[in-house]
Amino acid sequence: MALHLDIPTDEQLTALLGAREPGSVSAYLPTSPLPQDADAARIELKNLAAEAQSQLGDAGRGVREQFDDLLADDTFWTQLANSLAVFATADSLRTFRLPNRLVSMVEVSDRFHLKPLLRSVTFPQAALVLALAQGSVRLIEVAADVPPSEVEVADLPTPEEIAARLRPGHLVDGDTVRMRQYARLVDTSLRPVLAGLGLPLILAAAEPLDSIYRSLNSYPRLTDRGIPGNPEDASEAELASAAREILDEVYAAQLDDVRSTFATRVNAGRGATDVTDVARAATFGAVDTLMVDFDDVIPGFVATADGTVTFNSDDDAENYGVVDEIARRVLLSGGRVLALRRDDIPEQGTVAAILRYPV
């Protein structure tokens, strides 16, 4: 069962970060790629929409109409992934189908709540495997909790076309010219599918095709580690199992690197874990890398001029998520935001920041 994914591009994320309109609603809910589970997801979104309207009162009629239109779209509800993010105003509605499993929640403010969405950008928990062999090529979608599935790619070389490029002799005498032609054709065919997708690509190939394809690859998220050996005899499940191990290693290495950098910088006065300190640093563009607990919501306000934080115990349409606003300022100043689980954040707090300079 293939996932239907819409991981936001940098441009889409920037647009969401900059949006300002009273009565902006952000809803997240777990879903399933199985069509028989669609009704449960619809009911959950209907409940979230009702909660948003109760906060907005009469001003929420336009937003509710946007949700009602989505709820009535039968085709949409047969093409889901593991979670759904919905961003609605009285005049617009935008959805993203995500590979991560997110908790159900709804937030209402003058801006969108984006930390859970950032989790899918940070660690999408999904990947594509390019199984590249002398006589075949497959693109396989891999995600947690669902069986892998082959992705149809227009213009991908057929076995006959591969044979024409690689024979006679099945690469006899090290015919690297034909192998390069073959690899370039595969890369070109994949570009429309991979453009803007944002998922890691894991190469399953034997030498010399592995090295040749890597030398020609145009996709920026090809992982350094691949699945060695001839993939023709490997099932989709076997390739998916190997791919998940690689993903786990990639994410673990990224986390270790960030936490190590934080430990070094904090000793030099270039690390912060207090929300008020991080808000001030983000306001002045001093945050290089921000780690945030993607499940946590702290209602309040962050002053535009100096980053002073005003906390509020009421999570209603008059407030917004303080950490969400900090993340927005970091991204708009060219910093990086990692949406993590609390246990993965230094000192297991709500935020931790690596600073460009002491503040």
pLDDT tens by residue, 195-246: 877 789 999 999 999 999 999 999 999 999 999 999 998 999 999 999 999 9
Residue 41 has a pLDDT of 95
User: Which CATH architecture describes the domain 10-122?
Assistant: 2-Layer Sandwich (3.30)
User: Is 1.20.950 the CATH number for 126-250?
Assistant: no
pLDDT confidence bin for 318, thresholds 50/70/90: low
Residue 31 has a pLDDT of 93
Tell me 157's DSSP state.
P
Condensed to tens digits (0 to 9), the pLDDT of residues 120-176 reads 787 777 899 999 998 889 999 887 667 888 888 888 887 777 777 665 544 444 578
Give the contacts of 338 (CB within 8 A, at least 6 positions apart). 118, 122, 258, 289, 290, 291, 292
255 within 8 A of 345, measured Cβ to Cβ: no
Q: What is the pTM of this model?
A: 0.71
Q: What fold, for 268-355?
A: 60s Ribosomal Protein L30; Chain: A; (3.30.1330)
Residue 108: closest CA among 21, 44, 41, 30: 21
Mean pLDDT of 48-63: 92
Give the contacts of 59 (CB within 8 A, at least 6 positions apart). 22, 23, 90
Tell me 222's DSSP state.
B
Percent of the chain having pLDDT more than 90?
55
CA angle 90, 96, 98 (to 5 degrees): 150
Mean pLDDT of 247-270: 92
Tell me 60's DSSP state.
G
- In the chain, where the domains are located: 10-122, 126-250, 268-355
